[in-house]
Amino acid sequence: MKTSHDFSRARRGAVIPLPAGKVRITIRLDRDIIDWFKSKVEEAGGGNYQTLLNNALREYMEHRDEPLEKVLRRVVREELHATR
C-alpha cells in the first residue's frame, strides 16, 4: 500500500449516481417504523426496505383523497383475491 495518496483530483459525492427521478434526503423516522419495514423485506426473502417504504408512501399519496366507498371496494377486492 502507498504511504501517501494523491487526492488532488478527487471529488465529493456519491460513487454511484442516483437513478433518474430519485432524490437523496436525510429523514428521521421512529425505530419501530424502520424495523417493521425491514422485517417485511426479510419475510419476503430479500429486497430493499427503502423501496418498500417508498411504495407505501406512494400508495398513500395516490389513494389519500379517495372516497371511503372506493377505498372499501378496493380493500374488499384485494382481500377476496388473496383468498383465492
User: Residue 54 falls within a domain, yes or no?
Assistant: yes
Reply yes or no on whether the pLDDT at 8 is more than 70.
yes
User: Residue 19 falls within a domain, yes or no?
Assistant: no
Domains of the chain: total: 1
User: Residue 66 falls within a domain, yes or no?
Assistant: yes
Domain range for 70: 31-83
User: Residue 69 falls within a domain, yes or no?
Assistant: yes
DSSP letter assigned to residue 52: H
Identify the pLDDT of residue 44: 92
User: Residue 57 falls within a domain, yes or no?
Assistant: yes
User: Residue 12 falls within a domain, yes or no?
Assistant: no
User: Residue 42 falls within a domain, yes or no?
Assistant: yes
User: Residue 35 falls within a domain, yes or no?
Assistant: yes
**Residue owning grid cell 429486497:** 47
Reply yes or no on whether the pLDDT at 2 is more than 90.
no
Identify the pLDDT of residue 17: 82
Of 9-18, 21-30, 50-59, the least confident = 9-18
How many CB atoms are located within 10 Å of the residue 53 CB?
19
| 11-34: average pLDDT | 87
